[in-house]
Amino acid sequence: MDEIRIIEVKQGVFEDNNKDAEELRSKLKKEQTFLLNLMSSPGSGKTSTLLALAKEFAGKIQWAVMEADIDSAVDAETMQKAGVRSIQIHTGGMCHLDAQMTAQGIEELGILDTDLVILENVGNLVCPAEFDTGACKNMTILSVPEGHDKPLKYPLMYETCDLLVINKIDVMEYFDFDREKVIEYAKMRNPKIEILFVSAKTGEGIKQLADWILKEINHWKQ
């Protein structure tokens, strides 16, 4: 009997995607556009955080948003109404974006004279962390109601991210959320991860978040 051939499809997919991601980063560098990949679970406050950032970015940079969802255009419409150039990407049922999809979105969006593009990835703590989108930096939001132990349960998300934003700190007193523990767990997964505490609702900490992004844009353009 012939020996069964085993094909490592997943490894091949990742290799191809990583190549596409590097090509996209090279293009972004040439165009002097900073791409930030924003990931989190559904309901963590991604869109609300972007709306809060819009006030901080006004008059400072030219920026746009790519909203990724399995269906609907609700988030893109919300950002558009707030005066932020936006497009909606439908993933065709997939729970993440890869580099090729992101590049297609960038092409449709158009990045001429655009300092920043934020990709609001599909709400999911597993799949999006596995695929390099070609972004310059990765950021994740963890909301207080989700609990401080998320980094223990979803290690790859925190290992791949440069910035962890703890959102909804205005309701921290109503939840059993340990501020020191979340820092400890996140740093255990990724000693280099930076951590900010914000409230998209009240605006607390949003300036610090905007400053972090503006700093990274400047570094990218050097």
Q: Any idea what DSSP says for residue 192?
A: T
Residue type, 103: A
Cα–Cα distance, 152 to 145 (Å, whole number)? 16
pLDDT of 4:
62
Q: Which domains does the chain have, with CATH numbers?
A: 9-221 (3.40.50.300)
Rounding to the nearest 10 degrees, give the CA dihedral for residues 155, 160, 162, 164: -30
Mean of the pLDDT values across residues 11-29?
89
In this predicted structure, the answer to whether residue 92 has a pLDDT above a threshold of 90 is: no
Cα–Cα distance, 184 to 151 (Å, whole number)? 9
In this predicted structure, the answer to whether residue 220 has a pLDDT above a threshold of 70 is: yes
Distant-in-sequence, close-in-space partners of 97: CB < 8 Å, separation ≥ 6: 68, 89, 91, 105, 119, 121, 122, 128, 131, 133
DSSP code string of 122-167: -S-SSHHHHS--S-SEEEEEEEGGG-TTHHHH-HHHHHH-SEEEEE
In this predicted structure, the answer to whether residue 103 has a pLDDT above a threshold of 60 is: yes
Residue type, 87: I
Q: Any idea what DSSP says for residue 73?
A: -
Taking only the tens place, the pLDDT of each residue in 28-45 is: 999 999 999 999 999 999
* Burial profile 184-198: b = 16 or more Cβ within 10 angstroms, e = fewer: ebbeebbeebeebbb
Angle at 93 between CA 89 and CA 98, to 5 degrees: 55
In this predicted structure, the answer to whether residue 72 has a pLDDT above a threshold of 90 is: no
Euclidean distance between the first and the last CA atom of the chain, given in angstroms as a whole number: 60
Mean of the pLDDT values across residues 83-101?
88
In this predicted structure, the answer to whether residue 68 has a pLDDT above a threshold of 80 is: yes
Cα–Cα distance, 12 to 19 (Å, whole number)? 11
